[in-house]
Amino acid sequence: MTSRDKRFTKASQHSDAELEWVWAYQESLRWLDAFDAWFIKVARGQAIEAADWQSFMTEYQLKQGPATNAFREFRVAALAIVRGKLRNLKRAQNYCEIAPLWIECVQEFYEFVQSEGGEHIPQFAYSHFSKLIWFHAPQACGMFDRLAKVGLRRWLNPNEQRRPQMSHTAFAECFEQFHEQSLDRGRIEFAASYSNRTYPYERRITDKVLWLNGSGKKAQILGRFKRGLMLADIERRAT
């Protein structure tokens, strides 16, 4: 934290660049309580019932389309593919180590769906599998989606109107660069100082910041967060 940060004792006193990390930390905890902690337990159980699988897809807004239809219809196969790589997933230390396993899962699922005569999946299911993998290895990765990818591109090329294409391997590599830079600058430690709880999965917080910056609604979301802080501010935790 900078010397300027240390002078402030309330979250509302910080700039948007700092406040986005406080929001991401609080949002990660909110999701942990509302869904994630429960589904981590469900995902690691013997099987996932259809209703619980649908809850997962609904909560994470896996929208209708060929990939989602296949993911719903062949949930047992999708889960088996991920669990077939569980030992390596648990050993993974970062997103770069997760990425090859993630890509393999998608490719294996695609081949399975085709062998079953299922609907063609034009865009595969990268977002779907990144989310399912996260529930098995939350310490090592975030959750890939279009908005997080946009946020990462904006970090890489803030002044570019047209942003280059990014492979899924490149996404994982750039995510780790952004995450490590954020750790070096004390962003997550700073955000944690405004909570009485310790969120256990640091990359999920980084993921939330990227999502916010790619959402196109950053000003609105932070604006509402700041309005909330005006009514119920957050005091810095004594360290």
Pick the closest to residue 86 from 98, 72, 68 (CA basis): 98
Domain for residue 90, yes or no? yes
* 106 pLDDT tier (thresholds 50, 70, 90): very high
The structure tokens 């004792």 sit at 9
- What pLDDT is stored for residue 2 in this prediction? 47
Counted domains in the chain? 1
The structure tokens 């970062």 sit at 94
User: Phi, psi at residue 237, to the nearest 5°?
Assistant: -75, 135
- Give the pTM: 0.92
> Would you say residue 3 has pLDDT above 50?
no
pLDDT in tens, 48-69: 999 999 999 999 998 778 888 8
- ∠ CA 64-68-70 to the nearest 5 degrees? 130
Domain for residue 199, yes or no? yes
pLDDT in tens, 174-198: 999 999 999 999 999 999 999 999 9
Domain for residue 236, yes or no? no
- What pLDDT is stored for residue 199 in this prediction? 98
What's the CA gap between 209 and 155, in Å, rounded? 11
3-class secondary structure, 68: helix
Domain for residue 118, yes or no? yes
Domain for residue 177, yes or no? yes
pLDDT in tens, 132-160: 999 999 999 999 999 999 999 999 988 76
Q: How many CB atoms lie within 10 A of CB 131?
A: 21
- ∠ CA 146-152-154 to the nearest 5 degrees? 105
Domain for residue 237, yes or no? no
In which domain, by residue range, is 190 found?
3-231
> Would you say residue 75 has pLDDT above 90?
yes
What's the CA gap between 175 and 168, in Å, rounded? 10
- What pLDDT is stored for residue 196 in this prediction? 94
By percentage, how much of the chain surpasses pLDDT 90? Answer: 79
Handedness of CA 138, 180, 223, 153 (dihedral sign): negative
Domain for residue 70, yes or no? yes
- What pLDDT is stored for residue 47 in this prediction? 86
